[in-house]
Amino acid sequence: MALNTRLQVITRRAEEECLWLAALLSDEEKTQKGTARQWSARDTIAHIAHWYGVMAADLAGPRDRPAVDYGDFTKINDQIFHEHESQEWSEIMALLNHSIDSIVGSLEHLSTKELMDPEAFKWTNGQPLWRWLAGIGYNHTTGHLGELYRSRGQAEHCVHLMKRSMHLLNDLIDEPTWHAVNNYNIACAYSLSGQVEKALPFLKTAFRAVSYTHLRAHETVLDLVCRLLL
C-alpha cells in the first residue's frame, strides 16, 4: 500500500476513533462543558477537531508559507478551549468530519516524494509531511482519547486504542526511531493501566531501537521507568 493511501487510512481512522468513543457517551456527557484546565469529553473532541481544521487549512494553503511558532502551548490550548466552548456537539462533529474530508482530499494528489521530502512544505519546519500528518494528526488524537478513556475509568479501552495505533503507525513507514516512539506509547498505556509485565517488552524494544536521549525528547521516559520499577 502506498504511503499516500496509508496516511489517508490513519486520517480516517482518527475520526473513527472519535466516533467509537462518542458512542459510549451519554447525551449529558456530549453537552457537558469542562474548564480550560479540566476538559470534558466534549472539550477533548473539540480540541482534536480544531487541530484537524488547522491541518486542513495548512494543506490547502501555499507550500512556502513560513512555519508558525506557537510558543506556549498552554496558552494556545486555552484559546482553543474558549473558541469552541459554546459550540454544540453537532457543530464539533461536523468540523471534525469536514476537516478530515479536506485533508484526505489533499492527500490524494500528493506523491511519496512530496510526503517524504522535509523541504517540500516550508510550514512543517523541516519535518516531512508524512510525520507531521501522523504525529500532529493521528498520534495527537489517540493520545487525547487515551487520556479521556483513563479519566472515565476505562483504562483497558486506552490499551486497545494504543495497540491499534501502534500497528497502524508502525506499518506506515520502516524507520527505527518512529517505531520506537510507537512502542514506547503502548508501554505507557500498559503501565498506566497497571499491566507492568506487559509494558516492559515494549519499553525494551523501544530502547533497543533508539537512544535514551531521543525518547526522552519525546516523552518523560524517566517517569515511565520509575512507574515500572516501583
Q: Is 209 helix (H, G, I), strand (E, B) or coil?
A: helix
**What is the per-residue pLDDT for 226?**
44
Residues 47 and 152: their CA atoms lie apart, in Å, by 18
Query: What distance in Å separates the CA atoms of residue 36 and residue 179, rounded to the nearest whole number?
Result: 33
* Average pLDDT of the chain, as a whole number: 87
Better pLDDT: 190 or 103: 103
Q: What is the pLDDT of residues 80-92, one digit of tens each?
A: 999 999 999 999 9
Kindly report which listed range (62-66, 91-95, 175-179, 211-215) carries the lowest average pLDDT score. 211-215
Q: Which residues contact 46 (CB under 8 A, 6 or more apart)?
A: 80, 81, 84, 85, 87, 92, 95
Round to whole Å and give the CA distance between 194 and 204: 17
Task: Give kind and range of the element (H or E) at residue 171.
Answer: none
pLDDT of residue 223: 54
Percent of the chain surpassing pLDDT 90: 61
What is the arithmetic mean of pLDDT over 211-221? 49
pLDDT at 219: 47
DSSP 135-168: IIIIIHHHHHHHHHHHHTT-HHHHHHHHHHHHHH
Arithmetic mean of pLDDT, 99-114: 95
Q: How far apart are the first and last CA of the chain?
A: 43
CA dist., res. 173 & res. 183, Å (int): 14
CA dihedral sign of residues 82, 83, 86, 91: negative
State pLDDT tens for residues 162-175: 889 888 988 888 88
Tell me the pLDDT band of 228, cut-offs 50, 70 and 90.
very low
Instruction: Give the H/E segment covering residue 96.
Output: helix 89-107
The residue-averaged pLDDT of 193-200 equals 82
Residue 220: the pLDDT is 47
- Other CB atoms closer than 10 Å to residue 224's CB: what's the count? 19
Highest mean pLDDT among 71-85, 86-100, 129-143, 177-191: 86-100
pLDDT at 170: 87
What pTM value is reported for the model? 0.86
